[in-house]
Amino acid sequence: MIIQIYTAQSVDEALALADAGVDHVGVTPPQGLPGEVSLATMRDIALALKGRARCVALTVDITPETVAELVTTVQPDILHLCPLADAIKPADIPPLRAVLPPGMTILQAISVTGPESIAEAQAYAAVADMLILDTQHPDIRGVGASGMVHDWSISQAIVQAVAVPVIMAGGLSPENVAEAVRVVRPWGVDSATLTNEALADGSVRKDLAKVRAFAAAARAAVEAL
């Protein structure tokens, strides 16, 4: 079971996440998103994680120029495409590969709504390397970071319908991740909002106790299947 956690905001935090059992550490660029950091900080995090965990860099801006700058500067292991659901089509993904280094993994976000999401996921699975099933919120620029749960039966159907690895996201916490694993049986699970600790100044940092509990619950659920 792959554990993916967003969003690391410093090298120390990223390394602490890796030590807590996180396989994929997510970082967020300055695109008006929660937990964003500079490209330079993202690059420092990606370098520090080498040999420890895979660095996942997301983007809601999918213009080739922005994507090229992101991957050239940060050099992540995985590029996470998560613009709003109506802003990217499966046909948009192959041209983006032309600006990526050879072998760069593309993780495509799917906004899970209803049964129509199954066919959408199948179309994206034909051009992306992995999918992440998440929940879109109207006040957030991209798919994810909403802290909202979607219909797990749709996610379960998507996992069964595609041949690429699927990461489950959307309102997952230490309290519900085991049930999500049991129902959906994804390749990996992701948490952002519900493994955060709110700070007095309105910012957040990762709650390492919650991260450890999340990882332990997910992996225990897999062993119990």
**Pairing state between β 196-198 and 204-206:** antiparallel
Given a contact cutoff of 8 angstroms between Cβ atoms, the answer to whether 143 and 118 are in contact is no
1: pLDDT confidence band, cut at 50, 70 and 90? very high
Q: What is the dihedral of CA 50, 12, 201, 147, to 10 degrees?
A: 40
Mean pLDDT for the chain overall: 93
pLDDT at residue 141 in the model: 62
143: pLDDT confidence band, cut at 50, 70 and 90? low
34: pLDDT confidence band, cut at 50, 70 and 90? confident
220: pLDDT confidence band, cut at 50, 70 and 90? very high
What are the chain's domains? Answer: 2-224 (3.20.20.70)
Residues 172-179: what's their mean pLDDT? 98
Of the listed ranges 16-20, 31-35, 143-147, the least confidently predicted one is: 143-147
Phi, psi at 223, each rounded to 5°: -65, -25
Residues 46-53: what's their mean pLDDT? 98
Burial label, 211 (beta-carbon count in 10 A; 0-12, 13-18, 19+): buried
E strand or H helix that includes residue 54: strand 54-59
pLDDT at residue 149 in the model: 80
Given a cut of 70, whether residue 147 has pLDDT beyond it is no
139: pLDDT confidence band, cut at 50, 70 and 90? low
